[in-house]
């Protein structure tokens, strides 16, 4: 068991540096994709890995993954173990839009990037649900 204690200040500084590096305060959209699940049901493990690798690489190539001077927002991506739909995968959801896509091969992911992310046009033929999350009340910081 590792019992090394990291000073709290270092933890907080490191956390703050991660927030900065990842551009978490500038996230415009968050994509979650079922890829490489521990129990591959919606698609094969190989198909999931190909989809994830493609999504990650293209967001990086297009510099959508980090804020830019001329575009101070970014797209965050997360590889989910399973999004619980478990059919017609890889399954990909775009938040905050709440658009759920099926069969997200690299070709479909490219269309989602070009049409949805860059031009705000949903790729309807691969959508099986659109459900934006409801607005919540502003959070209150308690003393
Ligand atoms: S295995 Fe992909 S959504 Fe469940």
- How far apart are the CA of 77 and the centre of ligand 1, in A? 16
Q: Which residues of the chain have pLDDT under 70?
A: 1-7
Pick from 128, 124, 118: nearest CA to 83: 128
pLDDT score at 6: 58
> What's the confidence (pLDDT) of residue 141?
80
Pick the CATH number of 29-130 from 1.10.3720.10, 3.40.50.920, 3.90.1150.10, 3.40.30.10: 3.40.30.10
120 beta partners: none
Minimum CA distance residue for ligand 1 atom 4: 86
DSSP of 23-58:
TGGGEEEEEEEE-S-SS--SS-HHHHHHHHHHHHHH
- Inter-CA distances, 44 with 57, 117, 129, Å: 20, 26, 22
Beta bridge partners of 118: none
Rounded CA-CA distance 78/58 in Å is 14
Ligand 1 centroid vs 72 CA: distance in angstroms? 33
CA 41, 43, 44, 45 dihedral sign is negative
Cα 83 → chain centroid = 12
Ligand 1 center–CA 11 separation, angstroms: 34
State residue 1's pLDDT score: 47
């Amino acid at each position: 068991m590792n019992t090394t204690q990291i000073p709290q200040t270092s933890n907080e500084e490191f956390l703050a540096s991660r927030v900065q590096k990842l551009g978490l305060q500038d996230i415009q959209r968050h994509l979650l994709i079922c890829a490489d699940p521990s129990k591959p049901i919606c698609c094969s493990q190989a198909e999931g890995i190909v989809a994830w690798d493609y999504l990650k690489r293209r967001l990086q190539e297009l510099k959508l993954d980090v804020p830019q001077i001329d575009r101070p927002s970014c797209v965050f991506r997360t590889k989910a173990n399973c999004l619980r739909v478990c059919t017609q995968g890889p399954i990909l959801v775009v938040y905050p839009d709440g658009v759920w896509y099926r069969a997200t091969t690299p070709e479909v992911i490219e269309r989602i990037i070009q049409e949805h992310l860059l031009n705000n046009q949903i790729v309807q033929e691969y959508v099986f649900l659109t459900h934006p999350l409801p607005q919540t009340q502003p959070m209150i910081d308690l003393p």
